[in-house]
Structure formats: structure tokens, C-alpha cells
Structure 1
Amino acid sequence: MLKYINGYNTQLKAQVQELIEQDKLGEYLLSRYPDTHTYTTDKALYGLVQEMKNTTLKNASPLSKVVYDSKIRDINKALGTHTYITRVQGAKVKTKNEIRIANLFKKTPEAFLRMIVAHELAHLKEKEHTKSFYKLCVHIEPHYHQLEFDTRLYLTYKEHFGELYE
């Protein structure tokens, strides 16, 4: 029932369950995040990602593509993806980094989008979800852990009640 916050402690899950039963989870989310962002096109998303990358990861590999992806549907497995492609062309090795963000983040608060972008940008430097990976996420987005939790609450709300941000 609470699959998006399954890894959290029992007390926290009980508080969330109570918010759901009292129909107050949406109220909680809207009080913290009342507005959606304006990065609704691939071009605008690319601009946001480049800005975050240039501010926090100046020496990271360049990005060849940043898009919203309608094919990312199984939000249990991924909210965004980072793809690293290496191709040999003659004597040269060319690499491409792509970031794809689930379409559902077109209509969410900017904070949720920034958390997903921070996560995918961190993969430019750290491929695995290690302690140093999450430290890098916090470097990119200082409130990363709270935003990740609140994004999980939003996904929980969406599963139980439908869309919150239209």
C-alpha cells in the first residue's frame, strides 16, 4: 500500500497512512509545494539541467540530450534515466550522455523536478547509488533527501487519489 516509502521507518509510514486515511496528504503537499514549474518543454528542461550542471558540476561530461520521456511509465523502477553511450568511430571513442525525465514531472512542483535532475546529474560522476553518490546529490540539491521523500509522498498520493497538480 505504501510502496514508495517502504524503506522508511514504521513510525513515519504510520504518519503517512494516517494522512491518507484523513484525506490530508494532498493538503500537506499543496501547503509545501503549491505551484508547478514552467519547464514543460524539452528545450526548457535542457536549460534547467544545463544551469544546474554548470553551477555544481563544471567539469562533468557534456550532455548531448535532455528530454521528457513518455516511455518511462514504470515509476517503481525509474523516475528518470541517465544513459552513457560509447561509440568507436575510426580511431576515436565518442561518448554521449543523455538524461530522460518521466513525463509525469512536467506538471509537478519545481522542487520535485530539481530532485530528479540532481539524481540524474550525479550519475555523470558516480554510476552506482553509493554514499558518495548521495553526497553528490546533496551538493547539487542541498535539500535532496527531503525532496526525495516528498516526491515519494506525491507518488503515493497520485496512486491513491489521482493527479494533484493539473
Structure 2
Amino acid sequence: MQDLLYLRNYPATLQQQVRQLLADNKLGTVLQQRYPEQNHAVQTDKALYALTIDLKRQWLKSSEPLSKVVFDPKIHVINNALGTHTQISRVQGGKLKSKNEIRVAALLKQLPLPLLQMVVVHELAHLREKDHNKAFYQLCQHIEPAYHQLELDLRLYLTWLEHSNLKA
């Protein structure tokens, strides 16, 4: 069976369970039972911006402002993860101006809303914590208590989609 790219750092026992679910064609069913609402309203850059700003206002009021939040069809899931946070600094009139941008993989439009929200939370957490350290993940869990489960579920969804594409 193929390498489980999205689950490489997870325990062998979990990987074996996923391989068995894939072999039995049950992983998709398990995920659809867990997330029965497949379609969501966050399909445009404007809707993504609104979702992101709402979360930022609620959890990160004092953090730096965001200048742009968009779905990016160019983000390759394996190479660039699922979203990116960039801080662009420019000199304007003798002052250093900084802009924060969040780009989310367009693929997430197809997945359940909680998984999209988890990626947005992840990218927002980078406004405060640049590195993937303990404080970063604590902040992610503070904003979204089910963060780690949602991250695993997102990886399972991506594994299922990849496996489905290989069979087609």
C-alpha cells in the first residue's frame, strides 16, 4: 500500500488503522459520518476574509492587522501545507510598513467547514507565534479546543482524497 504522506509523523498503529479503512473502502464513510455537513458558505475570498476577521476579533484583538485573506489555487497541499501566512515589510516615506497576508489552499472549499476553520486558526496563530513551537500549539488549542483532532481529521480527509484519485 502507498505511503501515507499526510500521516507520516503519526504512530504506526494509527497508520495501520487508516490503511485498513482504505482497503475496506470505509475511510470516506467514517469521515462523512463525522462531518455530515459537506457544503459550506465559505466559497469566496470575501467570505473567507469575514470568517478570518471574526475569529481574529474574538481571539486575537491586539495582534497585527490583516491586509489580505484569500483562497489560493496555486498552493500545493504537500509542498506548501494548506495555508500560508506572510508578513511583507516595505519602506514608505521613511517608515517601515508591514502587511500580513493569509492564503488558504482553494482545495479547502470542498472540505467541511470545521477543517477550513482549523487551517484559518493555524494561520492566525502565526500572527503571534511565528514558529511551530509549544506556545504556538497552545494558542491554536486556546482558539479551537479540538484543534489536534481537526488537524488529524484534515489529514485523514487528504489521505482519502489522494487514495480516491489513485483508484480513479
Q: Which range, TM-score by smaller chain?
A: over 0.9
Which aligned pairs between 1:8-87 and structure 2 lie closer than 5 A? 8-35=10-37, 36-87=39-90
Which aligned pairs between 1:123-162 and structure 2 lie closer than 5 A? 123-162=126-165
**Deviations 1:79-109, CA, capped at 9 Å, x for gaps:** 0000101111122111100000000011110
Runs of at least 5 residues in structure 1 that lack an aligned partner in the other structure = none
CA distance in 2, matches of 1:48, 1:74: 21
- Deviating runs (4+, > 6 A) in structure 1? none
Shift of 1:77: 3.3
Is contact 2:126–2:136 with CA below 8 Å preserved after alignment? Answer: yes
TM-score by length of 2: 0.94
TM-score by length of 1: 0.95
Secondary structure of residue in 1 paired with 2:102: strand
CA distance in 2, matches of 1:28, 1:130: 31
Is contact 1:81–1:101 with CA below 8 Å preserved after alignment? Answer: yes
Is contact 1:112–1:147 with CA below 8 Å preserved after alignment? Answer: yes
How many percent identity over aligned positions? 57
Letter in 2 for 1:87: R
CA distance in 1, matches of 2:19, 2:25: 10
Runs of at least 5 residues in structure 2 that lack an aligned partner in the other structure = none
RMSD value, Cα: 0.9
Figure out how many residues of one structure are paired with residues of the other and give that number: 162
Shift of 1:140: 1.5
Q: What does residue 117 of structure 2 align with? A: 114
CA distance in 2, matches of 1:76, 1:153: 17
Q: Does 1:91 align with 2:85?
A: no
CA distance in 1, matches of 2:6, 2:53: 29
